[in-house]
Amino acid sequence: MKLLENMTEPELRDLLDNCGHAILDVAQAKDVQKLLFVVLLFNDPKVAQYVSNCRRDDIVKALREAADKLEARQDVEK
């Protein structure tokens, strides 16, 4: 097994692409529409990689919202 930071660019791109496709495949199978996502992968939080299907500005907003809830130890409301 490799750490992310030891993967080659093609290996990393393949991993990230497969993660993204898996999310979209499951969402489609569950009939989820208009799903936007970002997935962070890291071994060390200072060296994170991500895959997404949305705009960078939207990712930043979503991550800020999620970070605020995580820091406050709030559960996601339904």
Walk along the chain (78 residues) in steps of 10 and give the mean pLDDT of each run.
92 96 97 95 90 96 94 79
pTM: 0.79
Contact call for residues 58 and 64 (beta carbons, < 8 A): no
What's the pLDDT at 77? 66
- Strands (E) located in the chain: 38-42, 48-52
Q: What is the bridge-based pairing of β-strands 48-52 and 38-42? A: antiparallel
